[in-house]
Amino acid sequence: IIEEYTPFGHSDYQTIIAKIKKFAGEGKKTAVISTINGDSNVPFYKELGNAGLKAKDVPVVAFSVGEEELRGVDAKPLVGHLAAWNYFMSVKNPENDKFIKMYRDWAKKAKLPKADTVVTNDPMEATYVGIHMWAQAVEKAKSTDTDKVIAAMAGQTFKAPSGFTLKMDETNHHLHKPVFIGEIKADGQFNTVWKTKGPVRAQPWSPFIPGNESKQKL
């Protein structure tokens, strides 16, 4: 196992990709777990494509690359690599159709750069759900007082663009959400290859780290 860390905003991934290629070239079955955040995904995936590392040889599963990041790269060399999210733009249901249309219409009205190619992604869906849940909590509390809204937020539900009804946990204020694993397609969208049957109950403390057992019971 090789572990590599880079600072936020890092853009030179030649050395790291070369290490991955060398490791894979030694006959080891190789997969990459990527927790790269934000804009750094673009140079990482560009370099991955330049090095000719295809998904069938060295699959990458990412926790922070989505439709918006793929808009900045040629996705064709990245076909088959994986990402884990709670939402994909390609999900088919009426809530998502409405969500995508609202954003595209707003992007054109606001004259965003390249408004005709805007995409939705998981962080956008999370923000959309959060704002609606906040509004529902304000209505329930009949107040915008922070403490009253926090109390009213517990147990809130909302039918999300993912197609699932999400729930704010009554005790820890984490969301119960579905999990999707998607394969990158040539057009920069994702083909869902696996998903949970329903929302997963939020666990804010990892059960795999010793000492967290007592926290789980709080």
Are 43 and 11 in contact, with CB atoms under 8 Å apart? Answer: yes
pTM for the predicted model, two decimal places? 0.86
Q: Rounded distance, CA 197 to CA 128, Å?
A: 22
Q: pLDDT truncated to tens, each residue of the chain (218 aa)?
A: 889 999 998 999 999 999 999 999 888 889 999 999 878 888 898 898 889 888 988 999 999 889 998 887 788 888 999 999 999 999 999 999 999 999 999 999 999 999 999 999 999 999 999 999 999 999 999 999 999 999 999 999 999 999 999 999 998 889 999 999 999 999 999 999 999 999 999 888 888 888 876 665 55
**Would you list the domain boundaries of the chain?**
14-88+177-206, 94-175
Task: Return the beta strands (E) in the chain as ranges.
Answer: 32-34, 60-62, 82-85, 157-159, 165-168, 175-176, 180-184, 190-195
CATH topology of domain 14-88+177-206: Rossmann fold (3.40.50)
Are 77 and 48 in contact, with CB atoms under 8 Å apart? Answer: yes
- Provide CB contacts within 8 A for 54, sequence distance 6+: 77, 80
